[in-house]
């Protein structure tokens, strides 16, 4: 079976992890700060905080901006459930904004229309989380303009997107947002096994992220209530979490960062090759905007037909040993969210997308022979 995504682990990665295993630190040591600094420098951002998962990154990013009971967060329904779940962890209310039918990212026009109505009702969001689907950034300049007008914060869900660029800047620079999160799950661009990270240029957000990552604990003299204790002393000043990542994971991540640009270039080449080989077929192929450089986490095509045809092609591709997938089941369509009262109303573009979408295999180790087989099989079926 050709998987839809797969990590690449080299001898350099193994050596980096083994070296850390032999060191004095397995967790909460220097490898974490080294990885954070490496990512921050790459993205051109002031601060980076690595955590146990991208879900943890979303959760503490939201908390650092004051999201809680009585607050609202809007996001795209075309995402993994964690983007919305993390807001529910905070006690906030969640709602969804329809997607753009070309990029499959959050639609700026749909967002603006929803904001106009929400302002009339007094239900404006406190945070909007645009999801950079498949590796392409959302239109952050337009979203930031709306944020300034309507008074909400922007948290970028860049789980698919490390290595990508928008407006000649790396995603994660936080030029148009308060924070950006990344995922380092094995199928993503680079991996730490499991793991996530938050970037920000806001020092208050950064300090809050550090506390929330480790039980809300601080040793900062400026934050201590009792300042006359010994050097061993610390205080819990927030209700934080055990979201720490290990030195072993960060050693792997730092080693993988050495090949990040190489991985993105390889993914771009494979994506361009897909486009050339499939452009004559009755498919809607991915669209990349002029001001974006995608990191190509996913290559999604839309079948010319309905859900029944998509399902038939999906099953036959799997039977042929090709690990196609579907990204994503709309968040509002899951039973948990249906029980909260959500339905598909207001997201017709997302409904149309989901009924036709198939994700083709894409990862640096995919060979051209495997890719030819994928394309030939798909051509026969469509």
Concatenated DSSP letters of 54-89:
HHHHHHHHHHHTT--TT-EEEE-SSS-THHHHHHHH
pLDDT at 44 over 90: yes
pLDDT at 56 over 80: yes
> In this structure, are residues 296 and 362 in contact, taking their beta carbons and an 8 Å threshold?
yes
Cross-strand pairs, 299: 360
**Structure token digits, residue 353:** 């997308």
Report the alpha-carbon distance of residue 311 to residue 356 in Å, rounded: 9
Of the candidates 163, 173, 168, 93, the one whose C-alpha atom is nearest the C-alpha of residue 134 is: 163
pLDDT given at position 3:
97
CB neighbour list of residue 19: distance below 8 Å, 6 or more residues apart = 251
What are the residue ranges of helices labelled H in the chain?
Answer: 11-21, 30-43, 54-64, 82-89, 108-121, 140-150, 203-213, 247-257, 260-278, 307-319, 335-339, 348-354, 368-381
Of the candidates 183, 170, 117, 113, the one whose C-alpha atom is nearest the C-alpha of residue 140 is: 170
Cis peptide before 328 (omega within 30 of 0): yes
Beta strands in 130-265 (DSSP E): 153-157, 165-166, 169-170, 179-183, 196-200, 217-218, 235-236
Q: Give the rounded percent of residues in the chain with a pLDDT score beyond 70.
A: 100
**Structure token digits, residue 250:** 């960060």
Domains of the chain: 11-257 (3.40.640.10), 260-381 (3.90.1150.10)
pLDDT given at position 228:
80
**Structure token digits, residue 26:** 């397995």
Length, in residues, of the chain: 382
Between strands 299-303 and 283-284, the pairing is antiparallel
**Structure token digits, residue 158:** 């860049």
Q: Indicate the pLDDT class of residue 231, thresholds 50, 70 and 90.
A: confident
Give the chain's mean pLDDT: 97
pLDDT at 345 over 80: no
pLDDT at 82 over 90: yes
Q: Indicate the pLDDT class of residue 229, thresholds 50, 70 and 90.
A: confident
> In this structure, are residues 75 and 129 in contact, taking their beta carbons and an 8 Å threshold?
yes
Task: Compute CA distances 105 → 134, 163, 168, 248, 347, whole Å.
Answer: 9, 18, 19, 34, 12
> In this structure, are residues 143 and 154 in contact, taking their beta carbons and an 8 Å threshold?
yes
Residue 357: CB atoms within 10 Å: 22
Q: Phi and psi dihedrals of 326, rounded to 5?
A: -130, 125
Quick: pLDDT tens for 159-211: 999 999 999 999 999 999 999 999 999 999 999 999 999 999 999 999 999 99
H or E, element range at 125: none
pLDDT given at position 110:
98
pLDDT given at position 222:
86
Please, is 110 exposed, middle or buried when counting C-beta atoms within 10 Å of its C-beta (0-12, 13-18, 19+)? buried
| Mean pLDDT within 250-270 | 98
Instruction: Report the SS3 class of residue 101.
Output: coil
pTM, entire model = 0.97
Write the DSSP symbol of residue 193: S
Between strands 165-166 and 169-170, the pairing is antiparallel
């Amino acid at each position: 079976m050709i998987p839809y995504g797969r990590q690449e682990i080299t001898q350099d990665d193994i050596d980096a992890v083994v070296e850390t295993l032999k060191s004095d630190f397995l967790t909460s040591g220097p490898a974490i700060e080294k990885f954070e600094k490496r990512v921050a420098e790459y993205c051109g951002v002031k601060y980076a905080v690595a955590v146990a998962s991208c879900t943890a990154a979303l959760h503490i990013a939201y908390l650092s901006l004051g999201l809680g009971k009585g607050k609202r967060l809007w996001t795209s329904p075309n995402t993994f459930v964690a983007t919305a779940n993390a807001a529910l962890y905070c006690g906030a209310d969640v709602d969804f904004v329809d997607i753009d039918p070309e990029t499959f990212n959050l639609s700026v026009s749909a967002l603006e229309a929803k904001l106009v109505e929400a302002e009339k009702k007094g239900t404006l969001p406190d945070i909007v989380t645009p999801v950079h689907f498949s590796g392409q950034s959302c239109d952050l300049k337009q979203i930031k303009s709306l944020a300034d007008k309507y008074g909400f914060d922007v948290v970028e869900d860049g789980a698919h997107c490390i290595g990508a660029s928008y407006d000649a800047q790396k995603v994660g620079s936080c030029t148009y947002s308060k924070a950006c999160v990344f995922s380092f799950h094995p199928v993503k661009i680079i991996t730490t096994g499991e793991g996530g990270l938050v970037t920000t240029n806001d020092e208050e957000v950064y300090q809050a992220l550090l506390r929330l990552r480790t039980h809300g604990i601080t040793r900062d003299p400026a934050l201590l209530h009792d300042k006359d204790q010994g050097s061993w002393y610390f205080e819990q000043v927030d209700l934080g979490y055990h979201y720490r990542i290990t030195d072993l994971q960060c050693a792997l991540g730092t080693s993988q960062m050495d090949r990040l640009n190489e991985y993105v270039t390889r993914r771009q080449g494979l994506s361009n090759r897909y486009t050339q080989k499939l452009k004559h077929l009755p498919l809607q192929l991915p669209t990349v905007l002029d001001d974006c450089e995608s990191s190509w986490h996913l290559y999604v095509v839309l079948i010319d037909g309905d859900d029944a045809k998509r399902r038939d092609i999906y099953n036959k591709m799997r039977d042929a040993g090709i690990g196609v997938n579907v990204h994503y089941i709309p968040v509002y369509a899951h039973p948990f969210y249906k029980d909260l009262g959500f339905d598909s109303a207001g997201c017709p573009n997302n409904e149309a997308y989901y009924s036709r979408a198939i994700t083709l295999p894409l990862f640096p180790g995919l060979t051209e022979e495997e890719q030819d087989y994928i394309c030939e099989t798909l051509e026969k079926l469509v």
